[in-house]
Amino acid sequence: MRTIRIGSGAAWWGDRVEPAAWNAERGDLDWLVFETMAEATVSAAQVRRRRDPAFPGYDTYLDDRMAAVLPHCLAQRTRIVSNQGWINPEAAADRIAWWCRKLGHAGVRVAAVDGGMLTERIADLADRVLETGEPVAALAGTMVSAEAYLGAEPIVAALADGARIVVTSRVADPSLFLAPMMHAFGWAADDWARLGQGSGIGHLMECGAQVTGGYFADPGYKDVPQPWHLAFPIAEVAEDGSAVVTKLAGTGGVVDRRTVKEQLFYEVHDPAAYITPDVVVDFTTTRIEEEGPDRVRVTAIGGRPRTPTLKVSIGLEEGFVGEDMFFYAGPGALQRAKLARTILEERFRYVQLAAEDLRIDFLGVDAIHGPASPAPAAEPYEVALRVAARTRTRAEAAKVGREVDAMAVSGVGMTGKRVPHQDRVREVVGVWSALVPRAAVMPRITFRES
């Protein structure tokens, strides 16, 4: 049975570049796939563009990634599918074509897939916010962006039209991997069994090193060889969708039934109904077999007909967060931290901090799991006091940092503090969801050649 080799090139915007280059150079890949968008990427890019008109609107590491992989991909005829287009896939495609020319490859066909942006139309298309039930129409004043998750089909169309590189705006993560399978094997868009299996494999691949030993090690329980040298995964996918998940020889990390199982459920709710734009995936029937070192065969993932709607991600302006921390050590550290908290609480009253939410936590005691943390068995030797407030305005949020500044000389004995060298206020863009009819979304595909 014919198989194709699909490698991962990134699992998020901040991911390493070297493992992508290793896969491109040594992975004997037919396809290299980049996933660089988080839930808030589009709204964050819109906010940035408002502030910085020179921001091109695509992955800020596009140049680094393309410079690292294109020489190998072009020489080995590895095709690329990538969602690095963010809010401007046409400009990203132009830039990639520029890179191809610069590397001496003329005539490389590069496609941009766009068309999911619905910011202007969402109030007419969607009724209510899924999470809150609030009417979408009521959000107009604070909406930063609304974009539909596209599926594999527009990528498949671009590939059928001869594209060797496809760069997209928002596409569901598994669809980036499903598209090459549909193209290579000619799977129909209603072949639910194969689309389910292929999307399941895409789901395992989309978080890159999370299936090759990243986000996994737990010393003494789950040990990972050379965790400083992790590879990104490679899937060997057969015509029937069955696949082996593996990684390059000579790299660190591990691919086994444990890493595959953990990733299978990652960000999944009902394992029998994982909804993508292409198909509803059923993970409950999955068979996972270790067929060799770092080789796991994954079969029997199910698929059912896709839903009549597409998910839209809505970004809303939700004010600001001000945050900072300072710290104590040695005998009595926690007692001094508690006094510091009391001082801050009084100061916030004095400066009339208008906070919608406020947290003052003892990092090292209960800052992370809050009330679910067990009482410390012994007095902690070190404690950081971490304070965060959510406010309507930037000026209110800035009060947090200003009050923490004062703790240097007007606070508690033996207070350790950083110089305030970083921006301690960030803008909050909340991400919410809604559903729209499929027919409302018309993907747009454009081509250029290097």
Partner 1 sequence: MRVPLRRLAHARSGDKGNISNVGVFAYEDAFYPFIKAQLSAERFAARYPGVVKGRVDRYPVDGLAAINFVAHEALGGGVSRNLCLDNYGKTLAAAVLDVEIDIPDALAPLLRGP
3-state secondary structure 409-446: HHCCCCCEECCCCCCCEEEEEEEEEEEEEHHHCCCEEE
Q: What is the DSSP letter of 23?
A: H
12 binds partner 1 per the rule CB under 8 A: no
CA separation for the pair 6, 80 (Å, rounded): 10
Report, in Å, the least distance between residue 259 CB and partner 1: 10
> Closer to partner 1 at the Cβ: 111 or 205?
205
First to last CA, the chain: 34
Beta bridge partners of 292: 295
288 binds partner 1 per the rule CB under 8 A: yes
Report, in Å, the least distance between residue 386 CB and partner 1: 6
User: Amino acid identity of 3?
Assistant: T
Name the one range near partner 1 by CB under 8 A: 20-28, 246-254, 363-371, 391-399.
363-371
> Closer to partner 1 at the Cβ: 28 or 223?
223
290 binds partner 1 per the rule CB under 8 A: no
> Closer to partner 1 at the Cβ: 47 or 167?
47
Site for partner 1, residues 162 to 181, rule: CB under 8 A: none
90 binds partner 1 per the rule CB under 8 A: no
Burial 143-176 (b: 16+ CB within 10 A, else e): bbbbbbbbbbbbbbbbbeeebbbbbbbbbbbbbb
* Matching residue, tokens 């978080």: 207
Among 49, 261, 295, 392, binds partner 1 (CB under 8 A): 261
Contact (CB, 8 A) for 146 and 314 = yes
Name the one range near partner 1 by CB under 8 A: 61-69, 229-237, 282-290, 406-414.
282-290
Contact (CB, 8 A) for 16 and 63 = no
Among 75, 140, 351, 368, binds partner 1 (CB under 8 A): 368
Among 226, 285, 335, 393, binds partner 1 (CB under 8 A): 285
Among 96, 432, 434, 445, binds partner 1 (CB under 8 A): 432
- What three-state secondary structure class fits 188? coil
Q: How distant, in Å, are the alpha carbons of 51, 353, 403, 419 from that of 422? A: 19, 21, 15, 8
393 binds partner 1 per the rule CB under 8 A: no
Q: How distant, in Å, are the alpha carbons of 156, 168, 235, 243 from that of 4? A: 15, 22, 8, 9
Name the one range near partner 1 by CB under 8 A: 59-67, 160-168, 264-272, 289-297.
264-272
Let me know how long the chain is. 450
Among 153, 239, 290, 323, binds partner 1 (CB under 8 A): 323
Q: What angle do CA 18, 21, 22 make, to 5 degrees?
A: 90
Among 258, 338, 341, 392, binds partner 1 (CB under 8 A): 258
231 binds partner 1 per the rule CB under 8 A: no
Site for partner 1, residues 36 to 65, rule: CB under 8 A: 39-40
Beta bridge partners of 150: 171
268 binds partner 1 per the rule CB under 8 A: yes
429 binds partner 1 per the rule CB under 8 A: yes
> Closer to partner 1 at the Cβ: 51 or 369?
369
131 binds partner 1 per the rule CB under 8 A: yes
Q: Which residues bind partner 1 (CB under 8 A)?
A: 39-40, 131, 215-216, 218, 220-222, 258, 261-272, 283-288, 318, 321, 323, 357-359, 361, 363, 367-372, 386, 388-390, 428-433
